[in-house]
């Protein structure tokens, strides 16, 4: 009996769903062995509370886009359901796997534990696993003293080109044979114009349209919930899921800046790419942030969970129009600009006095651009539990008047208020009995009354958290955090 198995390599896609500037693919091609491109829809992740169908649809669209690019090379991504170890173990029955190429994922605990198990699996099965740096995030740093230089050097280095021939990959016929051994995943998704569509080609369209004209009002509209939808880049999901690398975006921005007539806008945009990397690096170095406050002095802060408050907040029924508009918009479209994201978290943790951990699952499921390294550090920063950041308690009414003065965003998402006079759109609780009769509106029936007293809850949160900042352990932790993360936190980003 002939037991010879053909030798292959595997590129294991995770959050790097692109061909260009993908070091794993580049290294696999350089190995001169046939490569199988693999994406595993892991059951453990699909059942995890961080993810929702909008994420898997975006991933399917991204893989479909890759397959269209691969068609001339007579190959495609093997897209299967299961767990990565069992899938690769089954592939071993047909092929001899020499090397698995992938990137280092700064993920949640479940992906970190999976990677540790996969490392042991590879060692036991004499498989080489080569992981590469992703978006300038470095593993096992002791501190941040040299990080900014490392990041800048990485971002300014040459991109990894995708220069391939059909012989570099397993053929389509071989992949179709492999599919018989697995539960394959259909990449078809139901068309939905509300959500941004996944894929490198779509990401490039957003990038090109941003630099064509949308960037001109970037700074002016970055905090406005309605206008930010156009003036901000909207690239975050394409970077989060790896349709575009941060290096691709930054280098294109740098090239565009040379001829731009509005360099200030480009500089602001680039500064936020640095901001993004800074927080992901922070999470890479302190993954405990997924569960507990990074500042151990806040571990004694116990907030009683109020499920009715949480339900009202999640569904946009709090009685505060700008909060409700933001939550309904996010739930339906997967997008919200940064300032509004900060405000709804501030409202949840300060005014409703709920643990930030209770906000984490819903927001991660709703954000199309869910990125763990942004998600958890930002939740804690907006909740005021880092100790090193300025305590920010956003005033919903003030933000509503400043950033949606005509109530257009509120009217779009809280339709029950759209016929009210503008002052009452922002604050219907100020309507008198006659005001309500004149507008054929019944507060508490047509729209909820405010579920909390905004001034009283703001004062309670402010007094409590400022007092906690005086705690010796909080101060001690401040020093530890600052020594570990020497790059100062920066402000708003979109």
Among candidate residues 109, 21, 458, the one with its CA nearest the CA of residue 288: 109
Q: What is the mean pLDDT of residues 331-347?
A: 98
Residue pointed to by tokens 């005001």: 435
Among candidate residues 43, 50, 15, 33, the one with its CA nearest the CA of residue 375: 50
Q: How many residues does the chain have?
A: 494
Q: Which residues, 6 or more positions from 71, have their beta carbon under 8 angstroms from its beta carbon?
A: none
pLDDT(208) > 50 = yes
Spans of all domains in the chain: 7-158+174-184, 200-284, 289-484
Using 50, 70 and 90 to split pLDDT, how confident is the model at 184?
very high
pLDDT(2) > 50 = no
Q: Which fold has domain 289-484?
A: DNA Cyclobutane Dipyrimidine Photolyase, subunit A; domain 3 (1.10.579)
CATH of domain 7-158+174-184: 3.40.50.620
> Given this model, what pLDDT does residue 489 score?
41
Mean pLDDT score of the chain, rounded to an integer? 95
Q: What is the rounded CA–CA span in Å between residue 489 and residue 382?
A: 12
Among candidate residues 174, 148, 153, the one with its CA nearest the CA of residue 76: 174
DSSP 197: P
Half-sphere exposure of 318 (CA within 13 A, CB side): 25
CA 452 to chain CA centroid, Å, is 30
pLDDT(493) > 90 = no
Q: What is the rounded CA–CA span in Å between residue 86 and residue 92?
A: 10
pLDDT(385) > 80 = yes
Beta bridge partners of 131: 102
Q: What is the mean pLDDT of residues 55-82?
A: 98
Work out whether strand 183-184 and strand 78-82 pair parallel, antiparallel, or are unpaired: antiparallel
DSSP notation for 324-359: HHHHHHHHHHS---HHHHHHHHHIIIIIS---HHHH
Q: Which of 120-124, 144-148, 406-410 has the lowest mean pLDDT?
A: 144-148
- Cβ pair 231, 240 in contact under 8 A: no
Q: State residue 475 phi and psi, 5-degree precision.
A: -65, -40
Give the tokens for residue 442: 């019944």
CB atoms within 10 A of CB 401: 16
> Given this model, what pLDDT does residue 235 score?
98
Q: What is the mean pLDDT of residues 197-216?
A: 97
Q: What share of the chain is helix, strand, coil (3-state, %, to 5)?
A: 55, 10, 35
CATH of domain 200-284: 1.25.40.80
Q: What is the rounded CA–CA span in Å between residue 123 and residue 116?
A: 11
With b for 16 or more beta-carbon neighbours within 10 A and e for fewer, the 410-435 pattern comes to bbebbeebeebeeebbbbbbebeeeb
Q: What is the rounded CA–CA span in Å between residue 422 and residue 411?
A: 10
pLDDT digit string, tens, across residues 476-491: 999 998 888 865 444 4
Euclidean distance between the first and the last CA atom of the chain, given in angstroms as a whole number: 61
What's the burial of 479, exposed, middle or buried (CB within 10 Å: 0-12/13-18/19+)? exposed
Q: What is the mean pLDDT of residues 255-264?
A: 95
DSSP 86: H
Name the 3-class secondary structure at 137. strand
Q: State residue 11 phi and psi, 5-degree precision.
A: -100, 115
> Given this model, what pLDDT does residue 416 score?
97
Domains 7-158+174-184 and 200-284 share a fold: no
Name the 3-class secondary structure at 365. helix
Q: Give the angle 137-143-144 at the CA atoms, nearest 5°.
A: 60
Half-sphere exposure of 435 (CA within 13 A, CB side): 14
Name the 3-class secondary structure at 199. coil
Q: Which residues, 6 or more positions from 182, have their beta carbon under 8 angstroms from its beta carbon?
A: 78, 80, 81, 82, 87, 90
> Given this model, what pLDDT does residue 145 score?
87
Give the tokens for residue 217: 């009002």
> Given this model, what pLDDT does residue 487 score?
56
- Cβ pair 320, 328 in contact under 8 A: no
Q: What is the mean pLDDT of residues 35-58?
A: 98
Q: What is the rounded CA–CA span in Å between residue 320 and residue 348?
A: 12
- Cβ pair 74, 172 in contact under 8 A: yes
Q: State residue 98 phi and psi, 5-degree precision.
A: -90, -50
Residue pointed to by tokens 């759109």: 425
> Given this model, what pLDDT does residue 4 score?
78
Q: Which residues, 6 or more positions from 479, have their beta carbon under 8 angstroms from its beta carbon?
A: none
Q: Which residues, 6 or more positions from 164, have their beta carbon under 8 angstroms from its beta carbon?
A: 25, 29, 73
DSSP 93: T
Among candidate residues 375, 357, 387, the one with its CA nearest the CA of residue 294: 387
Q: What is the rounded CA–CA span in Å between residue 248 and residue 246?
A: 5
């Amino acid at each position: 009996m002939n037991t010879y198995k053909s030798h292959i390599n595997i590129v294991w896609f995770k959050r790097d769903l692109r061909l260009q500037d993908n070091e794993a693919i580049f290294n696999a091609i350089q190995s001169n062995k046939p490569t199988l491109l693999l994406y595993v829809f892991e059951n453990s992740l699909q059942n995890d509370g961080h993810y929702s169908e909008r994420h898997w649809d975006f991933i399917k669209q991204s893989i479909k886009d890759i397959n269209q690019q691969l068609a001339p090379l007579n190959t495609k991504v093997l897209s299967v359901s299961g767990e990565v170890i069992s899938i690769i173990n089954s592939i071993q029955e047909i092929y001899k796997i020499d090397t698995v190429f992938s990137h280092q994922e700064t993920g949640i605990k479940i992906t970190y534990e999976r990677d540790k198990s996969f490392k042991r699996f590879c060692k036991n099965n004499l498989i080489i696993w080569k992981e590469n740096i992703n978006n300038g995030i470095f593993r096992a740093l002791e501190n941040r003293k040299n990080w900014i230089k490392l990041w800048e050097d990485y971002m300014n280095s040459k991109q990894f080109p995708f220069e391939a021939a059909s012989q570099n990959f397993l053929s389509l016929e071989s992949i179709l044979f492999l599919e018989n051994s697995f539960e394959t995943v259909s990449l078809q998704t139901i068309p939905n114009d509300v959500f941004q569509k996944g894929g490198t080609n779509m990401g490039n369209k957003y990038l090109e349209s941003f630099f064509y004209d949308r960037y001109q009002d970037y700074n002016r509209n970055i905090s406005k919930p309605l206008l930010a939808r156009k003036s901000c880049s909207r690239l975050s999901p394409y970077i989060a899921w790896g349709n575009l690398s941060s290096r691709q975006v930054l280098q294109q921005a740098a090239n565009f800046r040379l001829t731009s007539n509005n360099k200030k806008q480009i500089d602001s945009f680039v500064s936020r790419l640095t901001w993004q990397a800074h927080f992901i690096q922070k999470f890479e170095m302190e993954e405990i942030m997924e569960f507990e406050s990074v500042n151990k002095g806040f571990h004694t802060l116990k907030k009683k969970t109020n499920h009715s408050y949480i339900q009202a907040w999640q569904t946009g029924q709090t009685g505060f129009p700008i909060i409700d508009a933001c939550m309904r918009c996010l739930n339906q479209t997967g997008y919200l600009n940064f300032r509004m994201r900060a405000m709804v978290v501030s409202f949840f943790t300060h005014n409703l006095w709920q643990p930030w951990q209770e906000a984490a699952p819903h927001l991660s499921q709703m954000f199309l651009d869910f990125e763990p390294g942004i998600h958890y550090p930002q939740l804690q920063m907006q909740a005021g539990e880092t100790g090193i950041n300025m305590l920010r308690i956003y005033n919903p009414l003030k933000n509503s008047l400043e950033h949606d003065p005509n109530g257009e965003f509120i009217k779009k998402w809280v339709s029950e208020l759209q016929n009210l006079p503008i002052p009452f759109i922002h604050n219907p609780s100020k309507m008198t009995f006659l005001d309500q009769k004149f507008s054929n509106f019944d507060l508490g029936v047509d729209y909820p009354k405010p579920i909390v007293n905004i001034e009283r809850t703001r004062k309670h949160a402010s007094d409590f958290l400022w007092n906690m900042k005086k705690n010796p352990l909080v101060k001690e932790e401040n020093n530890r955090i600052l020594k570990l993360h020497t790059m100062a936190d920066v402000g708003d980003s979109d």
